[in-house]
Amino acid sequence: MGRAASVEDEVIYARLAEVFRANGYAGASLSALSEAVGLQRASLYHRFPSGKHGMAAAVLTSMEANFDTILRPLVTAPDVADGVAEMARRLALGYRDGRLACVLDTMTLAGAPDDIKAQAGRLARTWVRAMADAAVRAGVGEEDALGRARAALVRIEGALVVARVLDDRSVFTQALGELPDLLTR
Amino acid sequence: MGRAASVEDEVIYARLAEVFRANGYAGASLSALSEAVGLQRASLYHRFPSGKHGMAAAVLTSMEANFDTILRPLVTAPDVADGVAEMARRLALGYRDGRLACVLDTMTLAGAPDDIKAQAGRLARTWVRAMADAAVRAGVGEEDALGRARAALVRIEGALVVARVLDDRSVFTQALGELPDLLTR
DNA sequence: GTCTATATTTGGATAGAC
DNA sequence: GTCTATCCAAATATAGAC
């Protein structure tokens, strides 16, 4: 083994994510990423030989793992609506009650490489699938469930945008509150 | 009068808007803006002495005017639901059926100057106000109307994000279809 | 693994000719 | 009003010492 890393991988991903989600792919500069992580630019290139592109890919991959945690209640909760409510609580935490933007939104603008957009797309599909499955378990028909799951994602992403634009977090909180009924009733 | 402009102001605003809405404020480079407009960078600076910042401000101001056209049916239609449906048709046109992003989303990311974000916020508030007024005219209570108008904006913005991320325009089309009921029932 | 130093390109912006 | 030419700062990325 060589020299130990001064910053843990998962900590790096989390700090990179802060910059990417707030500024988007194009808007996230190496200087900002470097400062957020607490490593010089050259050190970041040692961790991510393919540069910014590799950092963005790593952030999304790490986020995929985090989503497992956020989505787990959808599967494990005895009552589906309770599971959705628990997912909503975890989302509130992850998005800091609507103060933070979503990478699905900001990392899919025109400046991003195609495979990063594709990775974000897969992440979104995983999320929709998980919500649709939960709806089915609540007795909703398969076709209808998929539509409701997409509607849920629409409300989450839309609420994040509107909360930011109107500078009013309550929009997000309210959208989260509607999710259990939306997915199970 | 001096020399005539080779490109009309409104044409310039529209082409600048294409770049800003797709790439966000930070992601919109002078080269890209210049190429889209068909004028050299220096020529753009002659039109907009305050540079990129002035271009963004002009785009939002021009968009405010365009919104008058989009929102007019809310006021003029004898039946409110019909008016909302007509607004939705105009939105479908403006957002190219969900293929284009919204400046309210992309121009309010971290890289944008504060007054640009503020201008976007005013634009959003105008929009919400117009939809809320329409809801009131349809018999909805004032308090409830404001909530529904915000919900409508949430669905529009969210649908644009999700349509882009999932690469599926139907999400946007469907969200537009729900607006008349959402605002008047 | 992290750093300083540097190469190279692109970014935003200005000067001055036409 | 538009252009070419140019300036300077910031961007991404690499080289090599420690």
On the question of pLDDT at B1 being above 70, the answer is: no
CB contact under 8 A, A110 and B27: yes
Cα torsion through A27, A31, A37, A38, rounded to 10 = -160
* Lowest-confidence pick of A121-130, B5-14, B38-47: B5-14
Question: Can you identify the CATH homologous superfamily of domain A7-184?
Answer: Tetracycline Repressor, domain 2 (1.10.357.10)
- Per residue in A4-21, pLDDT (tens digit) is 888 899 999 999 999 999
**Closest Cα of chain B to A27: distance in Å?**
5
CB pair distance less than 8 Å for B154 and A159: yes
pLDDT of residue A4: 82
Which sequence spans correspond to the domains of chain B? 7-184
Q: Please give the single-letter amino acid code of residue A175.
A: A
Convert the pLDDT of each residue in B96-146 to its tens digit: 999 999 999 999 999 999 999 999 999 999 999 999 999 999 999 999 999
A101–chain B Cβ distance below 8 A for any pair: yes
Q: What is the pLDDT of residue A1?
A: 46
Q: What's the predicted TM-score (pTM) here?
A: 0.98
Q: Measured between alpha carbons, how far is A157 from B166 in angstroms, rounded to an integer? A: 12
Cβ density class B132-166: b for 16+ within 10 Å, e for less: bbbbbbbebeeeebbebbbbbbbbbbbbbbbbbbb
**Chain A closest CA to B166's CA: distance in Å?**
5
State the residue for tokens 């398969």: A142
Instruction: Name A95's Cβ contacts closer than 8 Å, sequence gap at least 6.
Output: A102, A160, A172
